[in-house]
Amino acid sequence: MAATRVTPTREVRALRIVQAKDYPLYVFMLRASEILDFADISRVSRDEAGKLIGYQRPQVRKHIQEIVEYLDSDVPIFPNPIIMALSPDVVFRSTRGGNRHPDDGISDTGRLTIPLPEEGKAKPAWIVDGQQRALALSRAQRKDFPVPITAFIADTVNLQRDQFVRINNTRPLPRGLVTELLPEVDSPLPARLAIRQAPSKLCDVLNTDKSSPFLGMIKRASMSGNKPTNAVVTDTGIVEMIQESLTSPSGCLYPYRDIGRGETDFDSIIKALIIYWSAVRDTFPDAWGKSPEKSRLMHGAGIRAMGRLMDRILGTVDPLREDSPERIREHLALVVPYCRWTAGTWNDIGYRWNEIENGSRYFQELSNYLIRTYQSTRRELM
């Protein structure tokens, strides 16, 4: 008589949560190195007939690498669970007498027995949410890093896809909120966020420094519902203006960075920003401090375009000299006759003052026009 073949299994401690009668949730832990041993990743593709199969979006290499770098940092915290759909072959057994409280019909603890994948056969789980995190965990140095898993039983791709769509259909955090939170983050950030951290800190200073022309004028996400009436400028416009000048070799703030040492002269940057934008305020008093609906100077496109002009002017005028405020005002005066911040139509580009919007086309055309006008007017006076 042939011996019965026993399928190898892995047993984990788990919490069972009853949300829907036929689809309980299981919460348990796996080590980083074990996740892809148990679970497959389905990506969006089509079969030979053109029918959509799978459901995961393509890998994003840069995002995965950012997660790997964070996991390999000194104090990684990984609270977000990987969500899996489990084969119906898994078995859950309650721990008799193991629960401290009487069964409330909602949750109980026990052991989840998961069949291990055999060569050439499908794995017992599919990743519904957390594809990139799972790949990053598999590449991290800490192979024994404990990872929370939330799972449910699903034996059809349709059910998996339905859960994937529902789980991933949440709205991302507002960009303004992320921008405002960045200065408060002490742990290492991915490069794409770290590059926005310094401009966001500088934006905070511009909004709170008593000598700043933007004092109390910058709208931040935390002000929602109780913002002061003079908060008329969006923080994203300010942050983008600073970031572009800091990171572009042609930016006037770029020289204040020592890239080799990883140091930045923030005091000098703040002085330069305050001196230049104070001169802008003094040059356009009728357009300063109004809402973007009444003045396009206070609009995101206006702030960024004047930021581009700042790079040209402060490339000529040292903002740290004593006579710099007067000299900057002299340079700004060259474009005053051609600006239409609150009324009229912009020459050459043909937009009425209130037709300037936040799209890149408007910003590029406005900034190019201001720079061309400034440079041509300077040449005529030389």
Of residues 229, 177, 228, 240, the one with CA closest to residue 203: 240
- In this prediction, residue 333 carries a pLDDT of 96
pLDDT tens column, 193-208? 656 678 888 998 999 9
Residue 244 pLDDT > 70: yes
Mean pLDDT (the chain) is 82
Q: How far apart are CA 355 and CA 31, in angstroms?
A: 56
Among candidate residues 167, 195, 221, the one where a domain is terminated: 167
Residues 329 and 274 both lie in one domain: yes
97 vs 308, more confident: 308
Residues 179 and 254 both lie in one domain: yes
pLDDT tens column, 267-298? 999 999 999 999 999 999 999 999 999 999 99
pLDDT tens column, 5-44? 566 788 899 999 887 667 788 999 999 988 888 888 765 5
Residues 162 and 191 both lie in one domain: no
Domain that holds residue 302: 175-381
Among candidate residues 111, 140, 167, the one where a domain is terminated: 167
Q: How far apart are CA 81 and CA 229, in angstroms?
A: 42
- Whether residue 1 is contained in a domain is answered as no
Q: How many domains is the chain built from?
A: 2
- Whether residue 2 is contained in a domain is answered as no
Residues 115 and 140 both lie in one domain: yes
- In this prediction, residue 1 carries a pLDDT of 47
Q: How far apart are CA 218 and CA 230, in angstroms?
A: 8
Of residues 157, 139, 170, 140, the one with CA closest to residue 40: 157
Residues 140 and 201 both lie in one domain: no
365 in helix, strand or coil? helix
Residues 225 and 370 both lie in one domain: yes
Pull the structure tokens for residue 114. Answer: 């998961």
- Whether residue 3 is contained in a domain is answered as no
Continuous segment of H or E residues that includes residue 72: none
- Whether residue 189 is contained in a domain is answered as yes
Residues 140 and 90 both lie in one domain: yes
Residues 142 and 197 both lie in one domain: no
Q: Which of 35-44, 156-165, 235-244, 324-333 has the lowest mean pLDDT?
A: 156-165
Where does the pLDDT of residue 171 fall: very low under 50, low under 70, confident under 90, or very high at 90 and above? low
Residues 89 and 220 both lie in one domain: no
First to last CA, the chain: 105
Residues 155 and 266 both lie in one domain: no
Q: Which of 102-106, 209-213, 276-280, 333-337 has the lowest mean pLDDT?
A: 102-106
290 in helix, strand or coil? coil
243 vs 167, more confident: 243
Among candidate residues 103, 136, 167, the one where a domain is terminated: 167
- Whether residue 289 is contained in a domain is answered as yes
Mention every residue, 6+ apart, whose C-beta is less than 8 A from residue 5: none
Neighbours of 310 (CB within 10 A): 25
- In this prediction, residue 238 carries a pLDDT of 94
